[in-house]
Amino acid sequence: MDNFKFHAYTEILFGKGQIQQLPAVLSKYGKNVLLAYGSGSIKKNGIYDSIQSLLSDFNVIDFADIEPNPHLATVERGRDLCLAHNVDVILAVGGGSVIDCSKVVAAATFYDGNAWDLVENSSKITKALPIVTVLTMAGTGSEMNKGAVITNTETQVKRGTGAWTTIPQTSIVDPTYLYTLPAKQTAAGSADIFSHVLESYFKRTPDAYVQDRMAEAILLTVIKYAPIAMVYPEDYSARANLAWASSLALNGILGSGKNGAWSVHPIEHELSAYYDLTHGIGLAILTPPWMRHILNEDTVDKFCEYGVNVWKLPSDMPRFDLANAAIDATETFFESLKIPMTLHEVGIDASKFEVMAKKAVELGGLAYAYVPMNEKDVVEILEACK
């Protein structure tokens, strides 16, 4: 196992009714609260009103309309609000986009230059406003990690950043807040959790046994509960298990001790940078072709381990048959969540494959992935997604 630093920093207040603790949580930081949220789902489902009534003793400043795949311009708008209103704490209510945007706003408030500098170079993040989150969508794990992904729409670059100062102080995770998620977002979030686990699972480190068994448990959880949440959006057990799986998949516990770059996320970030695609949908489309592309004599045993432990395939099958059956099972699972499984279905043609491949290799460090990939590899994977 590789050396690592793991710090489970964020306080998680999990379960029905935990929102009642919000005033006590926020009052540790001050009275001026920036309430960050998206395009209005929290107004429709009542979360906005319940938060406003709980915060009657606070000075609440609205920071609305944070878009999916949040833009740099939105970060700048949030920073201006923080400076104008002397904000003490950011309350991010939403999914990964709202939380990620809030993290960079929190850091940009203490930075004199262009906020994009903080995205390009996380070492420039020295200080940040405290962040408290109320999660409304399971998927990114942003509620329990320091990462933030921002898109510069002028240059069509989507990049991740983050520092220990941008990790949420407290996250309130009430599974009932996920009941109103549209099926498409439930599926996309589930695919995102699945992919986060795979990104850590498929690594070179030979002896990370405990991480890999935990990884399989989270994959099994998604396989069990995502289909239930799709059909019964108000199934508490399904929402609760998916929400906790989201946090555990990307709070560092699976990836610690397993060095190396991720494989599929860098490619997906190019799809969403150029086409504003829903992150989890892009991951689901890319994952089976990526798996088929990297399956070889060197990797086949890892795919067999995955097939036996996750998909319960018979261990005595011929190795490549077993590996291919595991990949097929992955694809069938995403299809069962009604995810469109080709780029064509989501309106993406081949015209930008080369430029996206070049950027994925450069920005994502794909030379250091589980199976190193160059531009040609990425184009071949994209071609297989057509």
The answer to the question of residue 143 lying near Zn ion (CB under 5 A) is no
Give the footprint of Zn ion on residues 175-214 (CB under 5 A). Answer: 192
The answer to the question of residue 46 lying near ligand NZQ (CB under 6 A) is no
Nearer to Zn ion among residue 192 and residue 375 (C-beta): 192
Alpha helices (H) along the chain: 22-26, 41-44, 47-54, 72-84, 96-108, 116-120, 183-201, 209-231, 236-249, 265-275, 279-294, 300-309, 319-336, 353-364, 375-384
Among 18, 74, 102, 145, binds ligand NZQ (CB under 6 A): 145
Phi first, then psi, for residue 372 (nearest 5°) are: -55, 140
Rounded (10°) CA dihedral 183, 185, 187, 192: -170
**Using CB distances below 5 to 8 A depending on partner kind, what does residue 260 bind out of Zn ion, ligand NZQ, none?**
none
Nearer to ligand NZQ among residue 132 and residue 137 (C-beta): 137
By rule CB under 6 A, what string of x and - marks binding of each residue 242-261 to ligand NZQ? --------x-----------
Are the beta carbons of 282 and 305 closer than 8 angstroms?
Answer: no
The answer to the question of residue 147 lying near ligand NZQ (CB under 6 A) is yes
Nearer to Zn ion among residue 130 and residue 280 (C-beta): 280
Nearer to ligand NZQ among residue 64 and residue 325 (C-beta): 64
Interface with Zn ion (CB under 5 A), residue total 1
Phi first, then psi, for residue 170 (nearest 5°) are: -140, 140
The first and second tokens of residue 363, run together, are 């920005």
Interface with ligand NZQ (CB under 6 A), residue total 36
Are the beta carbons of 125 and 110 closer than 8 angstroms?
Answer: no
Are the beta carbons of 321 and 333 closer than 8 angstroms?
Answer: no
Q: Tokens 């069938």 sit at which residue?
A: 332
Q: Cα(69)–Cα(311) distance, rounded to whole angstroms? A: 32
The first and second tokens of residue 108, run together, are 């940009």
Q: Tokens 């057990």 sit at which residue?
A: 237
Among 21, 39, 156, 299, binds ligand NZQ (CB under 6 A): 39
Q: Cα(341)–Cα(50) distance, rounded to whole angstroms? A: 38
Least spacing, CB of residue 328 vs ligand NZQ, in Å: 24
Least spacing, CB of residue 243 vs ligand NZQ, in Å: 11
Are the beta carbons of 162 and 144 closer than 8 angstroms?
Answer: no
Least spacing, CB of residue 141 vs ligand NZQ, in Å: 5
Nearer to ligand NZQ among residue 270 and residue 375 (C-beta): 270
Residues 6+ apart with CB under 8 A from 314: 308, 322
Residues 6+ apart with CB under 8 A from 355: none
The answer to the question of residue 174 lying near Zn ion (CB under 5 A) is no
The alpha carbon dihedral of 49, 18, 162, 218 has a sign of negative
Q: How far apart are the first and last CA of the chain?
A: 38
Q: Tokens 């002397």 sit at which residue?
A: 86
Among 136, 166, 170, 256, binds ligand NZQ (CB under 6 A): 136
The first and second tokens of residue 228, run together, are 């239930």
Nearer to ligand NZQ among residue 140 and residue 330 (C-beta): 140
Nearer to ligand NZQ among residue 194 and residue 311 (C-beta): 194
Least spacing, CB of residue 248 vs ligand NZQ, in Å: 13
Are the beta carbons of 117 and 111 closer than 8 angstroms?
Answer: yes
Give the footprint of ligand NZQ on residues 265-284 (CB under 6 A). Answer: 265, 279-280
Nearer to Zn ion among residue 67 and residue 235 (C-beta): 67
| Binding span for ligand NZQ by CB under 6 A among 115-123, 135-143, 223-231, 332-340 | 135-143
Among 130, 168, 175, 189, binds ligand NZQ (CB under 6 A): 189
Residues contributing to the site for Zn ion (CB under 5 A): 192
Positions that interact with ligand NZQ (CB under 6 A): 38-42, 45, 68-69, 94-98, 100, 136-137, 139-142, 145, 147-149, 177-178, 180-181, 185, 188-189, 192, 250, 265, 279-280
